[in-house]
Chain A
Amino acid sequence: DAGVIQSPRHEVTEMGQEVTLRCKPISGHNSLFWYRQTMMRGLELLIYFNNNVPIDDSGMPEDRFSAKMPNASFSTLKIQPSEPRDSAVYFCASSLASGGARETQYFGPGTRLLVL
């Protein structure tokens, strides 16, 4: 299996621009997570999808952030407009939902975002 695939791996943009991050989960996994990692705040859960439905988006920082999962093999995280404080590494992770909280999460390599 190719693992969780994220694109782009690096993104440099200017403040005010729209940024779209993409994720392809492991085939057969029906849970998907978006995380943000910064030095100051560590690893934060932004949103969790189960069977393509958003279950918990309480970690989404504000209305500038939105996430979609149109099908089982694709998800996007969009930031519009972007701000310098959004600079971080964004991870996508997937897992099986059948085992609940005991399941391992499989992380992608991350997208390193720099907003100038």
Chain B
Amino acid sequence: AQSVTQLDSQVPVFEEAPVELRCNYSSSVSVYLFWYVQYPNQGLQLLLKYLSGSTLVKGINGFEAEFNKSQTSFHLRKPSVHISDTAEYFCAVSDLGGYQKVTFGTGTKLQVIP
């Protein structure tokens, strides 16, 4: 069984500052990794995903994440945040050999302060 840990439930950051949202996972098999974003009163949408190959993955809205197998981490970063990035961010993992069951983390609320 897989699990995902998002260490920070809330992250306040000033506009135009960099941000890192942390994600660690646990699995006995190889996994795919995802970051989804949820804006207020909306459903989740995909930011980026790691399937294979380069460990640095670039996504929408200037976000990127780095897969680190030895540390079982998949941290999300953005060099300069905007007010519009205020949202909740979910890290998720799925089993390569399984069907499409995705295990989501508990989410990190990013609050961008003007």
B-binding residues in A (CB < 8 A): 4, 31, 33, 42-43, 45, 48, 50, 55-56, 91, 93, 95, 97, 100-110
A-binding residues in B (CB < 8 A): 32, 34, 36, 41-46, 49, 51, 90, 94-102, 104-107
Given contacts A50-B99, A97-B100, contact A108 B43 (CB under 8 A): yes
Residues of chain B contacted by A31 (CB below 8 angstroms): 100
- B102 CB, min distance to chain A CBs, angstroms: 7
What is the number of contacts between chain A and chain B, taking CB atoms within 8 Å? 63
Which single residue of chain B is at the shortest CB-CB distance from A105?
A: B102
Main secondary structure of the interface of A (DSSP, over half): strand
* Residues A105 and B42 in contact, CB atoms below 8 Å apart: no
Residues of chain B contacted by A43 (CB below 8 angstroms): 44, 90, 104, 107
Which single residue of chain B is at the shortest CB-CB distance from A108?
A: B43
* Residues A102 and B43 in contact, CB atoms below 8 Å apart: no
